Structure 1
């Protein structure tokens, strides 16, 4: 189990559909990381007066397997950036907890230096495993807002639930301890979770939200399964964040 944990947590695919097919109107960029790798990135700028979102996707697939959420997040002339984690899609590198944090830092640095977008101009949309990265980066930077779609308290707790007979704390290399970090987030925070999520238990989202500080909004559902959130859900979350500015 110790040696298999990377394959249990990170499940990339490498076949990538063209940006023109999945994200019309976006351009492809290659962002360098401090480790010397490059990240495959798609970015479409916002129309004047519209917000820009950064989409931190989950533990499987790559940026081109997120067409449904790409369409939703970029609706209403919003700007959107999505990238594949190192080792996913055509991005270089080996996935790990620390490499995920480093990848995200490189993306936010690139947005500021190349597009003039500071953290305070951005809304972060973290999905599933990506919620742990969103939480970490929100403790380092001051975003306009953070949306956590189907979050967990920690990978350690998830693993302990799945493998109660294992000494998880001794074995786990990638912890993503969101529950220990979420209290440090000061920007407006939205948590979305569905009771029929069979990947990350609804109770994990509830516990994370309870530990978070204000301002915060919990959006519970009964029929969104795992990360199948809709346009009206995203619109409500964004409107709430903007009202807090």
Structure 2
């Protein structure tokens, strides 16, 4: 009940922001990069400064793979930067995987202002860098959490990876808002839609969907729906899992993701 109230409060705040400031206010709510404090650079990572096709400078952190190993390219939530994912990256790397943490424009030390098409361009820049080094789609595992699931799914639709991992995915941003606050006509004003449900039939790679059945932000049924719509997807249900605690509640989750990536 408290989770539902918190979720409604967040989304009512979004509706208020839209009424007050329109598209710009909506994007500030969806991409709160300005609220995140920079974190120290983690040791052991290679830092890449890249330029997206539209000229925006973006950044990625990498733990390099052993020769021939798969590489997990991870897209973060709307309230994270690359540095905050260093521990997860190290755990995946220990499972004989390379890891690249993509940092969206406007976040951390990346330049620019985030938009849906902009973060897709950032993802393409990182994947192009890997391809130029001989790491093609057959070695790429596209991974996303929360907001990042929309980016990972779009890259899978474009044929940029061999595997897909979606942690707490949504069907679309307007659907998340309208599920919690049906009185808000989100489909009319949200420009950055990240409509993964519409793309699901075009995704044709082995997919692992992870969702907590007590998620207070993105309802569990959205993960179920995507697992049903993506051909051959496997759903890993985390009992009692909320939006941000799946790795704590499911100690075997990192190993499950690593096994999916390597298989």
Q: What's the TM-score once normalised by structure 2's chain length? A: 0.84
Structure 2: distance between partners of 1:73 and 1:223: 24
> More helix per residue: 1 or 2?
2
- Report how many residues are paired: 238
Q: Report the equivalent of 1:70.
A: 89
Aligned in 2, Cα 1:86/1:5: closer, same or farther, shift over 3 Å?
same
Q: Report the equivalent of 2:26.
A: 5
Structure 2 residue runs of 5 or longer lacking an equivalent are 1-17
Between 120-129 and 59-68, report the one with greater CA deviation: 59-68
Aligned in 2, Cα 1:227/1:68: closer, same or farther, shift over 3 Å?
farther
Aligned in 2, Cα 1:107/1:36: closer, same or farther, shift over 3 Å?
same
Query: How much has 1:239 moved relative to structure 2?
Result: 2.2
Structure 2: distance between partners of 1:75 and 1:162: 39
Given that 1:127 and 1:227 are in contact with CA atoms closer than 8 Å, whether structure 2 keeps it comes out as no
Partner deviation per Cα, 1:5-34 (whole Å, 9 max, x = no partner): 112211115533333xx3x32111101101
2:173 equivalent to 1:155: yes
Partner deviation per Cα, 1:112-145 (whole Å, 9 max, x = no partner): 11x2211221111111001011111101114220
Q: 2:38 aligns with which of 16, 29, 45?
A: 16
Q: 1:123 aligns with which of 118, 129, 141?
A: 141
Q: 2:192 aligns with which of 164, 167, 174?
A: 174
Q: Report the equivalent of 1:104.
A: 123
Partner deviation per Cα, 1:202-238 (whole Å, 9 max, x = no partner): 1111111111112x21100114422434362132233
Between 32-41 and 43-52, report the one with greater CA deviation: 43-52
Aligned in 2, Cα 1:242/1:47: closer, same or farther, shift over 3 Å?
closer
Between 46-55 and 132-141, report the one with greater CA deviation: 46-55
Q: Report the equivalent of 1:29.
A: 48
Structure 1: distance between partners of 2:219 and 2:234: 18
Given that 2:69 and 2:139 are in contact with CA atoms closer than 8 Å, whether structure 1 keeps it comes out as no
Please provide the CA RMSD for this pair: 1.8
Q: What's the TM-score once normalised by structure 1's chain length? A: 0.90
